[in-house]
Amino acid sequence: MDDQEKQSESPLLRNLSFAVLFLAGVVSLWQRAEHRPPEEAVERFRSQQMEFFLKLQVSYALLPEIAAEFGQETEEAKKSALQSIKQICDSEAAANARDQVQCAVLMAHLNEDFEKYTVRTSALQDEFQTLYVENQPLDSEAELFQTGVGDLVRLKQYELQGKDERAQELRERLKEYAREAYGLQILFGLGMLGVLTLGLIFVIAAVRKKPVQQYGIALLSLHPGDFRALLEGTILAFFGITALLPVLSGLVPADFRIYGVVGGHFLLLLGILYYVMRQSSPDTLQKVIGDWHYRPAHQLFIGFLGWCAIVPVGIISAVAMIERTAGDPMEQAHPIAFILQDHFVLAFILAVVLAPLMEEIVFRGFLYGYLRRYFSILAAAPITGFVFAILHPQGVAALPYLFMLGTGLCLLREYNRSLIPAVFAHMVTNGLVMIASYSMLH
């Protein structure tokens, strides 16, 4: 902004304007906290998730039959299978009649007591009673065959009908699925161990190296008015995401709303960048984003190592919080989960490209940069991480994970030449969540 424009503006009016925008964002955020997605969407999402988890438990139910192949005692494998099944079936997420009947099927296959899962009256309950209590075959169109545990039901049906060849063929196929699931579980465990090891090595190496505070040094050359522009850019983003975009998207027909949301986020990002550049200078914006031309492959690798250090610890804390917190974890899902199945590509672009770019520029660039003028790294990073966490809609259970993610990404920005490592780590995090969620739904 040139000197003539600065002299003509009213500081009081400018302060009041941004105070109003901030308050509008706070009010919208408060209202959003009390707003739930449509009950139909929540129930559909819960049902899809539970179908996935219960289908996975079918493999656990077969573990005792393949335990010897993995050097495990049959009774020990059965104990592990029961523990896994009960953890799912005794949760609030599996409280409806359909899920409970499927839990009864799993327990019946293991020759365990299933009475607690058969107390609700339903058509599925009647089918379960016929097949597992009265030992009578079901009609071929029975709904129980269409559930996540349908293969176990079909196996029981073949056994009652004396179709030994079909039963043996299906049992072998289920055993193969169980082997694959067990192998993937081992592979996942080894992968997590490798990620934790890389993250620990990265942290130790970074501490011993005593890296330069790259962002802190870059901020020293900024004019005091530039920091004001960073704060205003943060407020504009806050207002746009919490108040403006939800209102505008509500004006778009439901069938095209996701297109409006994606386009709105893109335009909001461009608008914020332009505003900050106009209120400060292109050089200021360059210092915030950093030198992304400098060894980009190396910066991406640093981002991956940073992800290895940050995310696993955050996930562990989130799981611990979910176990301690009452409530249905399905209701703590991000709103984007409810549109994932119908609009995967657009949801992927929003969550894996636009959201990391905007959030890293706003939180790790603008807000963290503004706070670094007044606070040390040890204060500015956690404050930014806390703000980052509470502005996400996933609920209390996700706060520790989001706080650690937000704080860790601040450190990635501080000790690197640009936002690239933080952006890449954020993209990897969101990308893996999106792929895992989509896989569950299919």
pLDDT at 428: 95
Residue 1 has pLDDT above 70, yes or no: no
pLDDT at 317: 73
Hey, what are 338's tokens?
A: 């409810």
Backbone angles phi, psi at 418, to 5 degrees: -150, 180
Tens digit of pLDDT for each residue in 346-391?
A: 999 999 999 999 999 999 999 999 999 999 999 999 999 999 999 8
Tens digit of pLDDT for each residue in 386-432?
A: 999 998 887 777 888 899 999 999 999 999 999 999 999 999 999 99
pLDDT at 169: 96
* pLDDT class of 442 with cuts at 50, 70, 90: low
* pLDDT class of 93 with cuts at 50, 70, 90: confident
User: Pick the residue with more confidence: 437 or 117?
Assistant: 117
Tell me what the mean pLDDT of segment 18-43 comes to: 75
Tell me what the mean pLDDT of segment 278-307 comes to: 94
pLDDT at 331: 54
Tell me the whole-structure pTM to 2 decimals.
0.87
Residue 328 has pLDDT above 60, yes or no: no
- Mean of the per-residue pLDDT values of the chain: 88
Backbone angles phi, psi at 377, to 5 degrees: -60, -40
pLDDT at 352: 96
Beta bridge partners of 418: 290
Residue 7 has pLDDT above 60, yes or no: no
Closest by Cα among 201, 162, 193 to 312: 193
pLDDT at 412: 96
Tell me what the mean pLDDT of segment 237-263 comes to: 90
pLDDT at 338: 74
Residue 35 has pLDDT above 80, yes or no: no
pLDDT at 323: 61
Residue 324 has pLDDT above 70, yes or no: no
121 neighbors 129 (Cβ within 8 angstroms): no
pLDDT at 232: 95
Flag the least confident range among 186-190, 254-258, 316-320, 366-370. 316-320
User: Pick the residue with more confidence: 100 or 255?
Assistant: 100
pLDDT at 440: 75
pLDDT at 37: 65
* pLDDT class of 5 with cuts at 50, 70, 90: low
Residue 9 has pLDDT above 80, yes or no: no
Residue 259 has pLDDT above 70, yes or no: yes
